[in-house]
Structure 1
Amino acid sequence: MNYLSFVVLTKNTSNIPVFGPIWNLIVSFLGYVMNAIYLLLDKVGIPNIGLAIILFTLVTRIIIFPTSIRQQKSSRMMQLMQPELKAIQEKYKNKTDNASMMAQQAEMKALYEKYGTSMTAGCLPLLLQMPIIFALYRIIMNIPAYVPSVKTVYENVVNHIGVSDDVLNRLIQFGGENGLSTVLKQLHNLGVEDYDLSAQGNFIIDFLYKLNPVQWTKLSEVFPDASQVIQTAAMESAKINNFLGWNLSTAPSAYGFVPNRYWLIPILAGLTQWLSTVLMQKQNSAMSQGGEQSAQMMQSMNIMMPLMSVWFCFSFASGIGLYWIASAVFMILQQLLMNWYFGKKSDEEILQEAMARANAKREKKGLAPLDEKGVENRLRSMQDRLDTEEKKRMDLIAKQATKTKESTEYYNRDAKPGSLASKAGMVQKYNEKNEKKN
């Protein structure tokens, strides 16, 4: 069974080995959240996929908010550390010997301790967010897999048209004639022996969920015996997928490159993504202080990320675009909130809080607490030790040079012209003369 098959199957058969049990746990949990939100909306009389996606996005942003705060704190620490970090890097810039490299690592470790952070503090929150972000896309693209009441709408159609080779061939032909080439890649896997009827039915549900109103009408012509059921499902699908006049199962690309109101979704997605990256760059100014290469990288991301948002939201169903917009809007609000919160704190307050957290961890390990003066003393002691070792090395070289000179003068003091000792003295003087020129 290939990887693509796992991606498109509904929940009861999704088991992606690449991510393992942790992935399944995250997806299942977020799937329950999505279902709970939709059921709540259904109870108040507005069962709508669009509202469910927005509320679902809000809940997930709240869930990962603590990791965003940690990432922001780490960025602020990096900003405070930057001058001292650069000083250490400049100090060992052209030193590649083992002793210098070890000394540089020791100084950097002590510096990170001084600021109560670590080299991986900024990466860890982002790594924690990645599985959740991937899980969100999985759920948004296959909502029937996680919301049983939505799945029922499409399951009724599957029960009436059946699951057979004839049905699958007709769906494949229908997809090819109606611009559903992406979904066809999923359907082409339906005939293999690895899939039972239940799995094949789930494939068809995934396929039906991606149909827009025009495609639903054409589908009833392909299966005239089930046209009434298909029309009923089409009306229910249009009702739950309608959001402010947009059908969320319709991709903006379905109308080609002719401007229409669906174009607003990728445009808004690009604009909100751009605003989000600009706000993040302003707060995380430590990145721009990392050198010209880092600044150019940030500028490239500010351009590429919004353009990628526009392209993806133009190509996929509008539901994905709505999620992208909602996510960017909540990120903007979240960033404004964090900018305000961290803007109230002085550098000294941020440093003291970081030191307190570091000391709490050290206390659990039975280690002595750190303080800024203590770390600075360690750095000073380390520098004194390096200076002492360098002085000893230079003194040794000087002593050796003195001994060599005294020995040469001793053996050459009574040398006769033309003797071997005289010639050796001439060679030495020649070498010394050339060394001075070089």
Structure 2
Amino acid sequence: MNYLILLTKNTWNFPVFGPVWNFIVSFLGMVMNVIYSFLEQVGIPNIGLAIILFTLVTRILLFPTSLKQQKSSRMMQIMQPEIKAVQEKYKNMSDQASMMAQQAEMRAIYEKYGTSMTAGCLPLVLQMPIIFALYRIIMNIPAYVPAVKVVYESVSSAIGGADAAQALVTFGENNGLKSILKTLHNLGLDDPQKYDSTAVHNFVIDFLYKLNPAQWAKLPEVFPKASSVIETAAAKSAEINSFLGLNLATAPSAYGFKPNIYWLIPILAGLTQWASTVLMQKQSMPQTAEGDQSAQMMKSMNVMMPLMSVWFCFSFASGIGLYWIASSLFMLLQQLILNWYFGKKTNEQLLQEAMAKANEKRAKRGLPPIDEKAIENRLKSMQAKEDSEEKNRLDRIAKQSQKTKDSTEYYNKNAKEGSLASKANMVQLYNEKHEKKS
């Protein structure tokens, strides 16, 4: 059994998400393998180029969800005035009746425009497992590309496989690889009963894939008998991981905080993500006032997310940074295409398309088409009912206030209000009043 692939795919052990996660990772892993195999056959076996083509393919696969998300965002712009009016109406009301009334009015508005409250969230939910799967594959390419795995497998076998684990752990600790060892459970030595020799052998392959050229050069000192195999694999590793003069197995952080060419990776990752995020939000997010809380939050996100990209791409191997840059550039291009496409459509056209699609779904469920007039009348009826209830409430308050006022005037008759005389007079009038009744 291939424990490397097993461990890679079964990161989530939840009974619901596990099968979905495994399917997505397996499918995308096959895509990566096909791309690299094609490049190898045409004479350019290169991980960097494979990552770029892989990113392009996944962006194409995700395009339908991006299109749906853009449509939903545009519909939100059209609906925003009515939604904001309902939110303002119930702004300071937290009782259950008011909250239920607000939800009913919101549902009526969404129904009126042929969309739903979850329409904009669903595409994002669908994209998340795919994005996580992409990271898993790119960080663990030997698990999915046999032609890459064999390079490191030859070294693992030459140095003793599972028996070399302890020596490699010591080597890693002395060469700044403690964080990588931690993610690999110290090559399985953290729990020997859990990981057998095959699993440890695959951990070793994982570890070797993450070595940079300088670390490869030191490895023969630890395993002198396997020096020729190590040198051959190091040359092949440098060939397949070299991209525009950078070794994709090397993290920019490997050189500390001394500026070097590898810093281009995190800097470009931050800049490209910032550009794609700003363009997407400018065109697809509902227009909000400058002082609006959501607008301020989005501005903060526009700064924080690129900065996070810079830090992650500085810490991880440059292959991750290359994926991040390629993904942002393809998203930028995709957003320009979407903006051009939706720029040709008027709000009326979008509404008609949304209504037609909603009615088509309703017809399949045996429901009548959306009746805009009926929904508007329902909204008016809900408003009239609320107005009537509010009027009755105010009338009750007014009557009670008048009753209190009349009672106070009656009992304070012929005396200064609040004086002892008025209180004595109040008692006398009260007794007289009740004597007459008796």
Partners of 1:244 and 1:91 in 2: how far apart?
A: 58
On the 8 A contact 1:172/1:187 being kept in 2, the answer is no
Q: Counterpart of 1:331?
A: 331
Tell me which of 69, 75, 78 is aligned to 1:77: 75
Q: Counterpart of 1:422?
A: 429
Q: Counterpart of 2:154?
A: 156
What's the CA shift for 1:163?
2.7
Unpaired stretches in structure 2, ≥5 consecutive residues: 414-423, 434-438
What's the CA shift for 1:259?
1.7
> Would the alpha carbon gap of residues 233 and 401 (structure 1) be closer, same or farther in structure 2, given more than 3 Å must change?
closer
What's the CA shift for 1:222?
1.0
On the 8 A contact 1:211/1:250 being kept in 2, the answer is yes
Partners of 1:425 and 1:117 in 2: how far apart?
A: 69
- The letter for the 2-side match of 1:253 is S
> Would the alpha carbon gap of residues 274 and 425 (structure 1) be closer, same or farther in structure 2, given more than 3 Å must change?
farther
- The letter for the 2-side match of 1:39 is S
What's the CA shift for 1:274?
0.8
Q: Counterpart of 1:182?
A: 179
- The letter for the 2-side match of 1:93 is K
Tell me which of 165, 169, 179 is aligned to 1:168: 165
Unpaired stretches in structure 1, ≥5 consecutive residues: 1-8, 427-438
Tell me which of 13, 19, 22 is aligned to 2:20: 22
Partners of 2:185 and 2:86 in 1: how far apart?
A: 58
- The letter for the 1-side match of 2:138 is I
Q: Counterpart of 2:4?
A: 10
Q: Counterpart of 1:6?
A: none
On the 8 A contact 1:82/1:289 being kept in 2, the answer is no
Q: Counterpart of 1:35?
A: 33
Partners of 2:301 and 2:104 in 1: how far apart?
A: 33
Partners of 2:159 and 2:245 in 1: how far apart?
A: 30
TM-score, normalising length: structure 2: 0.87
What's the CA shift for 1:81?
1.2
Corresponding residue SS for 2:161: coil
Q: Counterpart of 2:65?
A: 67
Corresponding residue SS for 1:149: helix
> Would the alpha carbon gap of residues 67 and 270 (structure 1) be closer, same or farther in structure 2, given more than 3 Å must change?
same
Q: Could you tell which deviates more after superposition, 84-93 or 48-57?
A: 84-93
Give yes or no for the alignment of 1:232 onto 2:232: yes
Query: Residues 24-423 of structure 1 correspond to what in structure 2 (within 5 A)?
Result: 24-165=22-163, 167-185=164-182, 186=184, 188-191=186-189, 192-286=192-286, 288-289=288-289, 292-394=292-394, 422-423=429-430
- The letter for the 2-side match of 1:11 is I
Corresponding residue SS for 1:10: helix
What's the CA shift for 1:96?
3.4
The alignment covers a number of residue pairs equal to 414
Q: Counterpart of 1:436?
A: none
Partners of 1:180 and 1:412 in 2: how far apart?
A: 90
TM-score, normalising length: structure 1: 0.87
> Would the alpha carbon gap of residues 287 and 196 (structure 1) be closer, same or farther in structure 2, given more than 3 Å must change?
farther
Partners of 1:425 and 1:387 in 2: how far apart?
A: 43
Partners of 1:375 and 1:313 in 2: how far apart?
A: 51
Corresponding residue SS for 1:23: helix
What's the CA shift for 1:268?
0.8
- The letter for the 1-side match of 2:170 is Q
On the 8 A contact 1:252/1:314 being kept in 2, the answer is yes
What's the CA shift for 1:202?
0.6
What's the CA shift for 1:354?
1.4
Corresponding residue SS for 1:93: coil
Q: Deviations over 1:1-24 (max 9, x none)?
A: xxxxxxxx6214432214411111
Partners of 1:221 and 1:62 in 2: how far apart?
A: 46
CA-based RMSD of the aligned residues comes to: 2.7
> Would the alpha carbon gap of residues 410 and 127 (structure 1) be closer, same or farther in structure 2, given more than 3 Å must change?
same
> Would the alpha carbon gap of residues 161 and 287 (structure 1) be closer, same or farther in structure 2, given more than 3 Å must change?
farther
- The letter for the 2-side match of 1:63 is L
Partners of 2:98 and 2:289 in 1: how far apart?
A: 25
Q: Deviations over 1:214-272 (max 9, x none)?
A: 11111012101000000010111111111111111111111222222111111111110
Corresponding residue SS for 1:176: helix
- The letter for the 2-side match of 1:44 is V
Partners of 1:327 and 1:234 in 2: how far apart?
A: 29
What's the CA shift for 1:343?
1.1
On the 8 A contact 1:251/1:316 being kept in 2, the answer is yes
Q: Deviations over 1:385-424 (max 9, x none)?
A: 33334445555666788899999999999xxx96856147
